[in-house]
Structure 1
Amino acid sequence: MSAPAYRPRILIAEDESGIADTLAYVLRADGYEPIWCATAGEALAQYRACKPDLAILDVGLPDMNGFELFRRLHELPGADGVPMLFLTARSDEIDRVVGLELGADDYIAKPFSPRELVARVRSILRRSARGGTAAPAPVAPGGPAPVFQIDGERRRIRYYGQPLELSRYEYGLLALLVQRPGRVYTRDELLDMVWDDAAQSLDRTVDAHVKTLRAKLKAVAPEVEPIRTLRGTGYALHEDLPPSPTAAP
């Protein structure tokens, strides 16, 4: 008899039972194994007992702010490789910015469509599996390395295996784009999330840094254009980059 198919574990930290039950139902129907925790303390205990494949964290937990829970989880061994998504009733931009600055993979505000949330979970796990998150993906012996490899502790990024010489803000821009391929960031978002004092900076500041960043990427792979410009909107990283520079059309 063959072993049952692996069901990715999804940790849900949500104190509203109605929302948690709905999430657990749609996640289970989509092939996942939901683990519901009504408090941050339970979530920490469940994480220590068995590391999940992804965590959904409500910001308004009764015993601990969801942002603090995120920080506590990231202090645990191996947490850097676990994607995390914030779920909250707050829709203020500052909360979204704080969550993404902490390193969350996504942010969704209540009320929300359960099917949309499951679609985001699926997308995050797919990106994580192919090395699209900040944690470097494991590389099979003899296999191609991920297009981007980020070393967060040393604040270094490799592009097609080549180390990039980046300024502080170039590193911040590229690391942010790499974490969520395809996600379009406006210039204001990039200023808020990468620069120390966005109020003292201009849209042109972002454009200038993207220009120098592109030049450094092109020096490694002249035929590849990894950063997309959406006129009047902002920038995004291409979702389907060639596995090697020589594979570019």
Structure 2
Amino acid sequence: MGRCLVVDDDAEIRTSLTAYLEGFGWQVSAAADGQGMRQALAAARMDVIVLDLMLPGEDGLALLRWLATQPDAPPVLMLTARGDTMSRVVGLELGADDYLAKPFEPRELVARLQALVRRASKGGQAATEDTRLLRFGRWRFDRMTRQLIRADEVGIALSSAEFRLLAAFVQRPGRVLSRDQLIELTRAPGVEVNDRSIDLAVSRLRAKLGDTAREPSLIRTVRGEGYLFDAEVSAC
């Protein structure tokens, strides 16, 4: 699978996660604090980090700030206390790529780590602002013609609001974007954007993608936080 670094001050969690991940073929290193994390990163290249936010000394948010300054830092999945919404939001804004709230289902952790590594291996910069044609799921997105293209080559036109919203999502797959962030990312001169207009644009974009709020496959609602585009995006 790859190399995973587990950073958690709870020895029992480190031991159990190490054994569980190794059962799925991961090579696992573990650290109890920031110093141990830095030593592990200096000793070997890691493909992904599982980072607990509640750590002694430097907490997880401080370590995320440090990782953001490091070239070629691996993707980070942060572990948070259930209900600790503000820490999750701040962590995502500081560069975490995903999160799980404790207690969590270990199999879900494995799936999320696999997704992070797949995205990283395909090149996190594939969906740049200069890339015209992008692929996700069964769709292609032509940013020149502002169209979604189905697998049967039928083009579906997007409104300006839908286009700006999808453009924001494909630039940041797998990350939770708050409504405030989406307002800033989709703002256009002379156009008023607010929470309600974001929700309407999401609803209309979901309809064109064949997505639903009840069973979303691409645009997931993260309660109390915003929306997440749950797809691997690559250049065609």
Shorter-normalised TM range: 0.5 to 0.7
Decide whether aligned partners of structure 1 residues 85 and 176 sit closer, same or farther in structure 2, where only a CA change above 3 A counts: farther
The Cα offsets for residues 97-153 of structure 1, whole Å up to 9 and x where unpaired, read as 22222232211011112222112111221232234xxx22xxxxxxxxx5xx23xxx
* 1:56-95 aligned within 5 A: 56-79=50-73, 82-95=74-87
Question: Residue 196 of structure 2: which of 199, 203, 216 is its match?
Answer: 203
Distance verdict in 2 for CA 1:125–1:175, change over 3 Å: farther
Q: Which runs of 5+ in 2 are unaligned?
A: 135-141, 145-159, 185-192, 220-228
User: What is aligned with 2:223?
Assistant: none
**Which structure's residues are more often strand, by fraction?**
2
TM-score by length of 2: 0.66
Q: 2:5 aligns with which of 11, 15, 19?
A: 11
Alignment of 1:194 with 2:168, yes or no, is no
2:14 partner SS: helix
Give the residue type in structure 1 aligned to 2:7: A
* 8 A contact 2:122–2:234 mirrored in 1: no
**Root-mean-square deviation (CA), in Å?**
3.7
Q: Distance in 1 between matches of 2:234 and 2:113?
A: 24
Judged with a 3 Å threshold, the aligned counterparts in structure 2 of structure 1 residues 67 and 157 are, in CA distance, closer, same or farther, namely: farther
Aligned to 2:27: 33
TM-score (norm 1): 0.63
Structure 1 residue 158 and structure 2 residue 131: aligned? yes
**Kept in 2: contact 1:83–1:105 (CA 8 A):** yes
- SS of 2:50 mapped into structure 1: strand
Number of residues paired by the alignment?
195
Q: Distance in 2 between matches of 1:172 and 1:39?
A: 38
> Is the counterpart of residue 120 in structure 1 residue 102 in structure 2?
no
SS in 1 for 2:131: strand
CA separation in 1, counterparts of 2:230 and 2:54?
34
